[in-house]
Chains A and B, each alone.
Chain A
Amino acid sequence: MGKDSEIKVEPTIFIREFNASRQLVFEAWTQPEHLKNWQFPFKGFKCEYHSVDIRPGGISLHKMTAPNGFEMWLLTKYEEVIPPECLIFRQYPSNESGDILTNPQMPGWPKEMRTTIKLEEADGKTRLQLIWQPINPTREEADVFEASRSEHDKGWGGGLDQLVAYLEAL
């Protein structure tokens, strides 16, 4: 096992700038009254928090409901909560009791992912970095994560453009 414990994977990083104070952006990430209004992938979704404990070691459980009624539960385990600059958590698909679900359709996908939110303020604007990275991946998990990445070109080189164009057209 020892050899696999030090596998490094480049994280996937999203960077955004918001026209808002760092304090407000941090609150938007850590207060359920805010979270329920935006934490979903599309407008028209609903987000409900069933339990909230946003502090280091705390666990929250929330439900996203798609406009067609499809429900998805997510369990979040918080590792660091440093107002107003940093938030680190692991998020898992779960059921309504908070039992973590595994994803059998995707063999080799990292079992655990860490999300780090870093906030910097400049001139009244807030720059957010969302850093997404597998935790202690096996070699296979690291390779699958690299292979499936489209944000960076580390996993696939430039030759992928044509393939992506083709996939889009399917």
Chain B
Amino acid sequence: MARTSTTFDAFNAIAEPKRRALIEAMVGKELTVNQTVEIMGWKQPMVSKHLSVLKQVGIVSERKEGRYRVYRVNAARLKPVQEWAAQFEQYWSNSLDCLEEYLKEIQSNGTNDG
């Protein structure tokens, strides 16, 4: 369901697949709106709309260069998202490591467990 809130944070900013595609395309580059339009093959208003949301949460920052504004990804703002997901994935993956080690341990102890 659409949320009534108009404020964004890094999490809902990247919940939209188009914005993820945009971030990926922009990583490591500095692009004007026109260059972004060309790379993405989207219409200019759509590029501007998504850029504006990403700017609002600081994932994209803007700089003036002569007559143009150039945009770049501020990846540090995405770190909380990565950390959140990594917590869970690491929890399972590390727990399975512990299980493996435990199974080794009790089997090498023969049958004297418990």
Chain A residues engaging chain B, CB cutoff 8 angstroms: 1, 4, 12, 14, 16, 18-20, 24-25, 28, 33-34, 37-43, 105-109, 128, 130, 132, 138, 140, 143-144, 146-151, 155-157, 159-160, 162-164, 166-167, 170
Contact indicator per residue, chain B 24-51, by CB within 8 Å of chain A (1) or not (0): 1101100000000000000000000000
Query: Once the chains are docked, how many angstroms separate the CA of A43 from the CA of B98?
Result: 7
Which residues of B are found within 8 Å of A155, using beta-carbon distances?
A: 20
CB distance from B66 to the nearest CB of A (A): 27
Query: Once the chains are docked, how many angstroms separate the CA of A156 from the CA of B84?
Result: 16
Chain B residues engaging chain A, CB cutoff 8 angstroms: 1, 3, 9, 11-12, 14-17, 20-21, 23-25, 27-28, 73, 75-76, 78-79, 81-82, 84-86, 88-96, 98-104, 107, 114
In the complex, the answer to whether A41 meets B95 with C-beta atoms within 8 Å is yes
Query: Provided the pairs A130-B92, A132-B92, A159-B27 are in contact, do residues A149 and B20 lie with their beta carbons within 8 angstroms?
Result: no
In the complex, the answer to whether A167 meets B12 with C-beta atoms within 8 Å is no
